[in-house]
Amino acid sequence: MRQRKEVDIATNAFNAQRLARLAGVLVLISILAGGFAEVYVPGRIFVAGDAAATARSLAGHPALFRISFAVYLIEAACDVTLALLFYVLLRPVNQYVSLLAAFFGLVSTSTFAFAELFYFVAAVPALDVDMFRVLTTSQRDTFTFIAIALYGYGGTVFMMFYGIATLLRGYLWYRSTYLPRIIGALLVLGGASFVVKNVAVVLAPKYDSDLLLLPMFAAMIPLTAWLLLKGIDRSRWPSQT
C-alpha cells in the first residue's frame, strides 16, 4: 500500500512537470505572437495622428495585416490554455485563489479579444470592396481612425484583469515550495505595474507611461526560462493535489 502511494505521488509530480514544461512552451509562443501581432505589425502599419496615412498603409499591406490577426488568435488560444495550466500548477498552494486567478485570466483574454475586433475592423474599409465603394475617402479615414482608437483603449483596459491574474499567480508562486520565490515576487511586481498603468490611464492620463510595462516583461523572461528548463521541483510537489 505504501509503495503504491509513493508511485502515485511520483506519477502526479511527473504529470505536473509535463504541464509546467507545456506552460513554458505556451508562454513563449504567446510572447512571440504578441510581439509580432501587437507590437511589430501595428508599429509598421499605423501612423500616429494621421488617419489618412494609416488607411493607405492598411490598404498597402493586406496580407501582413491579416497574418497579424491570425497570429493574435494563436496567442489568445495559448492564453486560454495557460489559464487552465496555471490553475492546476498553483492549485496545491490555494485552490480558491488559483481559481480566482484563472477567472481573471479568462476575463483579460476575453476583454482583449473584444478589443482585437476593432483592430480587425479598422482595415475593413480598405479591404472590403463593397464598403470601399460606399464610403468616401474621408469617411474611410475616419472609420479607420475611430476603430484603431477603440482598439487602443480596449487593449489598455484588459491590463487591469491581466495584472490581477498575474499578481495572484505571483503570490501563489511565491508561497509554493516547488517553484522559486524570486520569480513569484517578480510576477507580483509585474501584475501590480499593469494595474497601476490601467488606473493611470483611467484616472490620471498625464501620469501614464510605457515604463510601467517593464516589470511585466522582466517577470515573463525568467518565468518562461524556468518553466522550460526546470519546471517544478518534483521532490517537493505535494502528495495531495
Q: What span, in angstroms and rounded, lies between the C-alpha atoms of 124 and 46?
A: 15
Contact 192, 165 (CB under 8 A): no
Q: Give me the tens of pLDDT residue by residue for the chain, a chain 241 residues long.
A: 444 444 334 446 658 899 999 999 999 999 999 999 888 988 888 887 777 787 788 778 888 888 999 999 999 999 999 999 999 999 999 999 999 999 999 999 999 999 998 888 888 887 777 777 787 878 888 888 888 888 888 888 889 999 999 999 999 999 999 999 999 999 999 999 999 999 888 888 888 888 888 999 999 999 999 999 998 888 888 865 5
SS3 99: helix
Q: Is residue 240 part of a domain?
A: no
Q: Is residue 241 part of a domain?
A: no
Report DSSP state, residue 37: I
Is-above-0.75 flag for pTM? Answer: yes
Give the count of domains, the chain.
1
Q: Give me Rg for the CA atoms of the chain.
A: 21
Alpha carbon of 133 to those of 62, 65, 74, 124: distances in Å? 17, 21, 32, 12
Q: What span, in angstroms and rounded, lies between the C-alpha atoms of 46 and 29?
A: 24
Q: Is residue 239 part of a domain?
A: no
Q: Is residue 78 part of a domain?
A: yes
Q: Is residue 101 part of a domain?
A: yes
Domain span including residue 127: 2-234
Which residue's C-alpha cell is 489598455? 156
